[in-house]
Structure 1
Amino acid sequence: MAAKSMSIYLLKSGVTVEQAIKDSGGYEETEVAANVIPNLRVFLKPGHPKQPWWKTYLGLSEDLFQQSNSAIAFVGIGKRTFALAFGAGQHLLKEDSYVHDFGTRVVLNAVDPNKLKSTDTLDPESSQRRRTQIPYDGDLALLSFTSDSSVLKSLTGKARSEHSDLVRSVTGAASLRVTTPTEPGDLALLLKRLHQLYKSKEFRKTFPDIAQIRPITDPDTINPLNERLVASVFDVSAPIVLTVPDVLDYGDETYVQFSGRGVSEIFDDVYIKHYREYLEGKGITAESFTVDDLKHDELLLLDGSHETKQRWSIFRSLVFETQAGEGYSYHFSDGAWFRVATGLLESLQEFLDPYWIDTTLPTHEWTSEAEYNTKVSVATGSVCLDQTNISPAGQTQVEPCDILRIGEGTIEFVHVKIGTSSATLSHLFNQAANSVQLLRTNEEAAEKLLKLVKEKAGDDTAQQVAEALEKNAYTASIAIVSHKRTPERKSANLPVFSRISLRRALVALKAMGVTTTVQLVPDATDRAGRPKPRKPRSSASQ
């Protein structure tokens, strides 16, 4: 019996076929002959015959007409309705009409955990998306899935033996893609079984950590969360951060500006207060402000000459966290919402907070990160290694640290970063772990470090560093410079994905036997409210 592949959606409870269909879908309901499939309604969109582009490209004379038909079939099973999409039939459905985790949950309950084939994952911190496939049956470990830092977008594998009479392989996301030998007369049975699998919570035993972070795609959930996000822009007490959604080189002179309703003043650094005052200056109030305004307005990154280097929507540049319901928090970053299990947040706090110490570095009161590192190194008798490189020739640059503090028989690699954006902090945490690993595994890197220290601090200091490296007598410190005045909150000061990447880095450092501390350094600069004077520009961004 030939197997058939189809995509299956589950309409939300109470949603009718008419409510699920887009008004401009271009589909028409077609008559269904006497059929063994009960409660069936089919909507069809015939394709238009056309010749493939390569016919003309290759100069072929034959008529090679082809067309692609699409259909969507609705099947009522008890009180619920399923939609079976064929071709491009899924485009007929309104996004808020179906259950967005139906496919994922069915697969997690139906799939054999040792017969997985493929995963589609998202790293929320970097917005990297990847597909991992293996040519044989395997488990999540073989597919390189890390439950505390990756979001599972789709999972493909063979069904458990007890389901093989109805489905052979399954792929789950918002919809469920199944390969099934089911004939029309058994379709109702298949859909009933799939609904039972959707309602089951057995997957929590097989995949206990897989749902710690989930992307939110259902408009019914996103819309009220977006309303909270919009309201927080005008709420000075809200835990909202405006940040450049990319890794920056703070060695370059950069400024920021807003556009969308005329350009703003130019500022030294990005800060939510700047944007709030920009809106108020244009007569925008909390009552009139919408999520579309956030998507329309832009954050501009300027170079030293005040020319635009990059731009992003304000919507993508916001980081926000909120509680909604028991057991979960919701995190917004890089223009997307994620549901984070409270258990994950608690485990992060339990792991990270013991690393937190009171700051041992001076308050930041200079104009840039580079100047801070230079001034603090002089004031504390340390070696400034900011913007240096110890990586072997031809490899990606690795900075040993920003400040190298010399003690009695020991040294401390201090890594400094201004701000608490996820992308910036991830770079900082990776640098802390990568530099130690490189120094331990590459003689050329260690030699480069000693040469840098000798040039900057002399032979005696270089000898001290050499002896410390030989004995592995060194520690690491991660210093986060921030305007936040709540050091007692420790790791909770950081966005959730920054906490995840920090834990990953600390685990790596612990495995290498390196004692590490984390500190929040007060930022006393007035980066939040001092505009820069405008310079003449060749063109203004509107």
Structure 2
Amino acid sequence: MAAKSMSIYLLKSGVSIESAIKDDSGYKEVDVSASTISNLRVFLKPGSPKQPWWKTYLGLGVDLLQQSNSATAFVGIKKQTFALTFGSGQHLLREDSYVHDFGTRVVLNSVDPNKLKSADTLDPESSQRRRTQIPYDGDLALLSFTSDSSVLRSLTGKAKAEHNDLVRSVTGAACLRVTTPTEPGDLVVLLKRLHKLYKSKGFRKTFPDIAQIRPITDPSTIDPLNQQLAAAVFDVSAPIVLTVPDVLDYGDESYVQFSGRGVSEMFDDVYIKHYREYLEGKGITSETFAVDDLKHDELVLLNGSHEAMQRWSIFRSLVFEAQADEGYSYHFSDGAWFRVATGLLESLRDFLDPYWIEATLPEHQWASEAEYNAEVCLANGSVCLDQTNISPSGQTQVEPCDILRIGQEHVEFVHVKIGTSSSMLSHLFNQAANSVQLLRTSDEASKNLLKLVEERADAAAAEHVAKALETNSYTVSIAIVSHKRTPERKSANLPIFSRISLRRALVALKAMDVTTTVQLVPDATNRAGKQKPRKLRVRPAT
């Protein structure tokens, strides 16, 4: 019996077929009186016959008319309605009409965990998307899935033996893609079984960590969350942060502005208060402000000459945590919403907070990160290694640290970063772990470090560091410079995905038996806007 592939959606409870269909979709309902499938309605969109582009490109004289038809079939079973799509039939459905985790849950409950073939994952911290495929049966570990930092978007594998009579292989995301030998007369049986698998919670035992972070794609959930996000801009007590959503080189002088309704003053750093004041200066209030404004307005990055280098929507530049139901919370980062299990938040807090110490570095009051590092080293006799490189010849640059503290009984590698943007902090945490690993595994890297210390301090300091490297008797400190005035919140001051990244780095350092601390350094810089020179212009967003 030949197997057939189809995509299956589950309509939300109470959604009628008429309300699930997009307006002006081009689909027409067709007669199904000859079908053996009960409670069936089919909407068809015939394709237009076209010549393939490559016919003319290759100069072929033969007639090669082809067309692609699309259809969506609705099947009602008691209170549930399923939509089976063929061709491009999914474009008939409104995004808010169907259950967005139907496919994922059915796959998790039906797939053999040792016969997986492919996984689509998302790293929310870097917005990196990847598809991992293997040519043989395997488990999630072989598909490079890490439960505390990867979001599973789609999973493909062979079904468990007990489901082989109805499905052979399954792929799950918002819809369920199945390969099935099921004939029309047994379709209702298949759909009933699939709905039962969707309702099952058995996957929590098979894949206990897979649902710790889930992307939110359902518009009916996203829309009210976006409303909370927009309202938080005008709420001074809301846990909302404005960041540059990219990795920046703080050794270079830079400024930021807002555009979209005229160009704002320039600022030394990104701060939600400045954006709020920018809006208020344009007569915008919380009552007139909406999500579309966040997507329209832009954060503009300027170089030291006040020229625009890059721009991002305010929407993408916000980090926000929203109130949620018991068991999980909602987190907004890089323009997307994620549901995070409370258990993950608690485990992060329990792991990270013991590493937190009171700040041992002075407050930041200089123009840039580079100047801060240089002035701190000058004041306390430390060695400034900011923007240096210890990597072996021909390898990617690795900075040993920003500040090297050398005492009689102590050598400390201090890594400094201004701001709490997820992307910047990820770079900081990775640098802290990677530099130690390089020093442990490369004699050339150690020699490069000692040469830098001798050049920037003296031979005695280099000898002291050499002894520390030889006996592995040094420590690491991660210093995050921030305007946040809540040091008592410890790790909770960081975005959720930064906490995950920090835990990963601390685990790596712990495995190397390196004592590590984390501190939140007060940022005392003046964030007042600077008047922009008239001769330089930044194009407002259109």
Q: Report the TM range for the smaller structure's normalisation.
A: over 0.9
Q: Give the partner amino acid of 1:403.
A: I
Question: SS at the partner of 1:148?
Answer: coil
How far residue 541 of structure 1 moved from its aligned partner, in angstroms, is: 3.2
The equivalent of 1:291 in structure 2 is: 291
How far residue 374 of structure 1 moved from its aligned partner, in angstroms, is: 0.6
Q: Structure 1 CA distance, aligned partners of 2:14 and 2:539?
A: 52
Correspondences of 1:231-242 after superposition (within 5 Å): 231-242=231-242
CA contact (8 A) 2:308 2:538 kept: no
How far residue 33 of structure 1 moved from its aligned partner, in angstroms, is: 2.6
CA contact (8 A) 2:76 2:82 kept: yes
The equivalent of 2:530 in structure 1 is: 531
* 1:163 and 2:156 are equivalent in the alignment: no
Correspondences of 1:68-79 after superposition (within 5 Å): 68-79=68-79
Q: Give the partner amino acid of 1:276.
A: R
| Cα distance change of structure 1 residues 530 and 263 upon mapping to structure 2, 3 Å threshold | closer
Correspondences of 1:3-402 after superposition (within 5 Å): 3-402=3-402
Q: Structure 1 CA distance, aligned partners of 2:540 and 2:315?
A: 18
CA contact (8 A) 1:267 1:532 kept: no
% identity of equivalent residues: 81
CA contact (8 A) 1:268 1:532 kept: no
How far residue 391 of structure 1 moved from its aligned partner, in angstroms, is: 1.1
Q: Structure 2 CA distance, aligned partners of 1:127 and 1:538?
A: 31
Q: Give the partner amino acid of 1:541.
A: P
CA contact (8 A) 1:265 1:534 kept: no
Q: Give the partner amino acid of 1:540.
A: R
How far residue 378 of structure 1 moved from its aligned partner, in angstroms, is: 1.2
How far residue 394 of structure 1 moved from its aligned partner, in angstroms, is: 2.1
Question: SS at the partner of 1:265?
Answer: coil
Scaled by the length of structure 1, what TM-score is found?
Answer: 0.99
1:321-380, Cα deviation, whole Å (9 max, x unpaired): 112111111100100000000000000000000100111111111111111101111111
| Cα distance change of structure 1 residues 539 and 530 upon mapping to structure 2, 3 Å threshold | closer
CA contact (8 A) 1:331 1:337 kept: yes
**Residue correspondences, number:** 541
How far residue 458 of structure 1 moved from its aligned partner, in angstroms, is: 1.0
Question: SS at the partner of 1:359?
Answer: coil
CA contact (8 A) 1:409 1:464 kept: no
Correspondences of 1:445-460 after superposition (within 5 Å): 445-460=445-460
The equivalent of 2:498 in structure 1 is: 498
Q: Structure 2 CA distance, aligned partners of 1:419 and 1:56?
A: 56
CA contact (8 A) 2:322 2:330 kept: yes
Q: Give the partner amino acid of 2:540.
A: S
Q: Structure 2 CA distance, aligned partners of 1:476 and 1:534?
A: 43
Gap regions ≥5 residues in structure 1: none
Q: Give the partner amino acid of 1:38.
A: S
Q: Structure 1 CA distance, aligned partners of 2:239 and 2:109?
A: 37
Correspondences of 1:416-427 after superposition (within 5 Å): 416-427=416-427
Q: Structure 1 CA distance, aligned partners of 2:60 and 2:137?
A: 44
Q: Give the partner amino acid of 1:185.
A: G
The equivalent of 1:541 in structure 2 is: 540
How far residue 253 of structure 1 moved from its aligned partner, in angstroms, is: 1.1
1:489-529, Cα deviation, whole Å (9 max, x unpaired): 110111100000000000000001100000011111122x3
How far residue 407 of structure 1 moved from its aligned partner, in angstroms, is: 1.8
Q: Give the partner amino acid of 2:265.
A: E
CA contact (8 A) 2:45 2:70 kept: yes
Question: SS at the partner of 1:209?
Answer: coil
Q: Structure 2 CA distance, aligned partners of 1:6 and 1:540?
A: 49
Q: Give the partner amino acid of 1:439.
A: L
Gap regions ≥5 residues in structure 2: none
CA contact (8 A) 2:118 2:134 kept: yes
Q: Structure 2 CA distance, aligned partners of 1:524 and 1:139?
A: 50
How far residue 409 of structure 1 moved from its aligned partner, in angstroms, is: 3.6
Correspondences of 1:468-507 after superposition (within 5 Å): 468-507=468-507
How far residue 155 of structure 1 moved from its aligned partner, in angstroms, is: 0.2
How far residue 34 of structure 1 moved from its aligned partner, in angstroms, is: 2.6
Q: Structure 2 CA distance, aligned partners of 1:282 and 1:35?
A: 62
Q: Structure 2 CA distance, aligned partners of 1:408 and 1:66?
A: 80
Q: Give the partner amino acid of 1:456.
A: R
Q: Structure 1 CA distance, aligned partners of 2:524 and 2:179?
A: 61
Q: Structure 1 CA distance, aligned partners of 2:236 and 2:531?
A: 23
Q: Give the partner amino acid of 1:513.
A: D
Q: Give the partner amino acid of 2:315.
A: F
1:69-113, Cα deviation, whole Å (9 max, x unpaired): 000000001111000000000000000000000000000000000
CA contact (8 A) 2:110 2:197 kept: yes
Q: Structure 2 CA distance, aligned partners of 1:104 and 1:42?
A: 25
Q: Structure 2 CA distance, aligned partners of 1:107 and 1:173?
A: 9
Q: Structure 2 CA distance, aligned partners of 1:234 and 1:541?
A: 23
Q: Structure 2 CA distance, aligned partners of 1:397 and 1:168?
A: 49
Q: RMSD over aligned Cα, in angstroms?
A: 0.9
Deviates more, 1:375-384 or 1:168-177: 375-384
CA contact (8 A) 1:107 1:170 kept: yes
| Cα distance change of structure 1 residues 498 and 34 upon mapping to structure 2, 3 Å threshold | same
1:272-315, Cα deviation, whole Å (9 max, x unpaired): 11110111111111001110000001110011111111110000
Q: Structure 1 CA distance, aligned partners of 2:318 and 2:475?
A: 34
Q: Give the partner amino acid of 1:452.
A: L
Q: Give the partner amino acid of 2:286.
A: A
Correspondences of 1:435-450 after superposition (within 5 Å): 435-450=435-450
Q: Structure 2 CA distance, aligned partners of 1:534 and 1:285?
A: 29
